[in-house]
C-alpha cells in the first residue's frame, strides 16, 4: 500500500506512492458480498434538458450505512490483524465516516468510538448509536475531531481509522470508480464530490487507469474550496473557515495522500454554492425517487447549473443520503 497519512505529511505529491489498480481490485474482493454494488441509474430527462448524451447517477445512498464511506471503512478494518482489531477503533467524522466505521465494527464484533462535531445532525448521530457505536462530541472543525480522536487512541490503545488520508481508505472508496467503468466501459465524464478527498482520489484513480480518455471532475462547495486552493498553491492548504449546507464536504484541508492522486488523475475542479443544492435534491427525489443529502447531490447540482458540461456518457457520483425528514423538508422548502 501507499504511504500512511503520518508518513506523507511533509511529502510532495510527486513523492507519494499512489494507490494502484491492483490495490483497488483487492479492495473490491474484500467488499464482495459485504458492500452493496450500487447501480448506474439513467437520468434521461436531465440529459434531454441539457442537450447532452446519456447521464447516469451512481447512488451511494444505497450503500450500507447510507453513504460511500462503508467501502473504505470495511477495507481498513479488514486489513488489520484480529489482535489489533480487538483493541477497538476510533474515528473522527462529521457523520458518514462515523456510521461506516460503526457498521464495519459491528460486523467484526469490536468496539467503536466515534468523535463527531457538536453540530452533528440528529440522523447521523442516531445512525452511529443504532449501530452500537459510542459517540463523543468535539468542537466543530475537522481539526477538533482529529485531535480528540488521536488523544483517545493514545489513551485507550484503540486504532484510529482516518476518514480519508490513508491508502487503504482510498482503495476502498476507489471500488466505486471500478464499478463505474465495469458497468460503463465507454464512460466519457465522471463527476465526483470532494470533501477530504478519499472518494474523489479513489474514483479518479480507478477511472483514469481503466478509461484514460474519460474526464474526471471534482466538485466542492464554494464555502469549502480546499482542493481548488491546493491546486492553486501546489500543495494542501488549510482554510481558516468552511461552511455551507454540504456538511459532509466541509473539511478544512484536502488530505495529503488524496491530493497526490488528484494531481495525477483529476482534470478539473468546480465549486457549487448552496442555492444550487436544493434543486438537485428535489430532482433526485421527484424524478429518480432518491433521497440525497446536500453533499450527495452536489455533483448533480454541478451538471444542472452548467458548471460541468457533460461530454459523452456522464456519471454523477451521489455520495450519500443521510438526512432526516425535518432536514430534507427544511432544505427543499427553500429550493
The whole-number average pLDDT for the span 84-89 is 95
- Do the domains spanning 18-66+166-332 and 69-160 agree at the CATH topology level? yes
The model's pTM is: 0.92
Is pLDDT at 8 greater than 80 in this prediction? Answer: no
Q: What percent of the chain has pLDDT over 70?
A: 95
Is pLDDT at 122 greater than 90 in this prediction? Answer: no
Q: Please name the fold of domain 18-66+166-332.
A: Rossmann fold (3.40.50)
| Residues taking part in catalysis | 69, 319
Assign 253 a pLDDT band (cuts: 50, 70, 90).
very high
User: pLDDT, tens digit, for every residue of 273-292?
Assistant: 999 999 999 999 999 999 99
The whole-number average pLDDT for the span 4-25 is 74
Taking alpha carbons only, the member of 89, 58, 57 closest to residue 158 is 89
Give the Å distances, CA to CA, from 80 to 60, 83, 85, 324: 25, 8, 6, 33
Q: What is the pLDDT of residue 334?
A: 55
Q: What are phi and psi of 290, to 5 degrees?
A: -120, 130
User: pLDDT, tens digit, for every residue of 60-79?
Assistant: 999 999 999 999 999 999 99
Cell numbers found for residue 36: 452493496
Every domain of the chain and the residues it spans: 18-66+166-332, 69-160
Q: Assign domain 69-160 to a CATH class.
A: alpha beta
Amino acid at each position: 500500500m501507499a504511504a500512511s497519512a503520518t508518513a506523507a505529511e511533509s511529502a510532495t505529491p510527486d513523492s507519494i506512492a499512489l494507490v494502484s489498480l491492483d490495490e483497488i481490485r483487492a479492495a473490491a474482493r474484500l467488499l464482495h458480498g459485504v458492500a452493496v454494488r450500487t447501480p448506474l441509474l439513467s437520468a434521461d430527462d436531465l440529459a434531454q434538458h441539457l442537450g447532452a448524451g446519456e447521464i447516469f447517477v451512481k447512488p451511494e445512498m444505497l450503500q450500507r450505512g447510507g453513504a460511500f464511506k462503508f467501502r473504505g471503512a470495511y477495507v481498513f478494518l479488514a486489513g488489520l490483524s484480529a489482535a489489533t482489531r480487538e483493541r477497538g477503533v476510533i474515528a473522527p467524522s462529521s457523520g458518514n465516516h462515523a456510521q461506516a466505521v460503526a457498521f464495519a465494527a459491528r460486523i467484526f464484533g469490536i468496539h467503536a468510538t466515534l468523535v463527531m462535531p457538536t453540530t452533528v445532525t440528529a440522523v447521523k448521530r442516531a445512525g452511529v448509536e443504532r449501530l452500537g457505536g459510542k459517540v463523543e462530541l468535539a468542537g466543530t472543525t475537522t481539526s477538533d475531531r482529529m485531535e480528540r480522536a488521536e488523544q483517545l487512541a493514545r489513551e485507550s490503545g484503540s486504532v484510529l481509522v482516518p476518514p480519508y488520508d490513508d491508502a487503504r481508505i482510498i482503495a476502498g472508496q476507489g471500488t466505486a470508480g471500478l464499478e463505474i467503468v465495469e458497468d460503463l466501459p465507454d464512460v466519457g465524464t465522471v463527476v465526483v464530490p470532494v470533501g477530504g478527498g478519499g472518494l474523489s482520489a479513489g474514483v479518479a484513480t480507478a477511472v483514469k487507469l481503466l478509461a484514460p480518455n474519460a474526464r474526471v471532475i471534482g466538485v466542492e462547495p464554494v464555502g469549502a474550496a480546499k482542493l481548488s486552493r491546493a491546486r492553486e498553491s501546489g500543495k494542501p492548504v488549510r482554510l481558516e473557515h468552511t461552511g455551507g449546507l454540504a456538511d459532509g464536504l466541509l473539511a478544512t484541508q484536502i488530505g495529503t495522500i488524496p491530493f497526490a492522486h488528484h494531481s495525477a488523475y483529476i482534470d478539473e475542479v468546480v465549486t457549487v454554492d448552496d442555492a444550487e443544492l436544493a434543486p438537485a435534491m428535489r430532482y433526485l427525489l421527484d424524478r429518480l425517487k432518491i433521497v440525497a443529502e446536500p453533499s450527495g447531490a452536489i455533483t448533480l447540482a454541478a451538471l444542472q447549473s452548467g458548471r460541468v458540461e457533460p461530454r459523452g456518457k456522464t456519471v454523477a457520483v451521489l455520495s450519500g443520503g443521510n438526512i432526516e425528514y425535518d432536514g430534507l423538508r427544511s432544505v427543499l422548502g427553500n429550493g
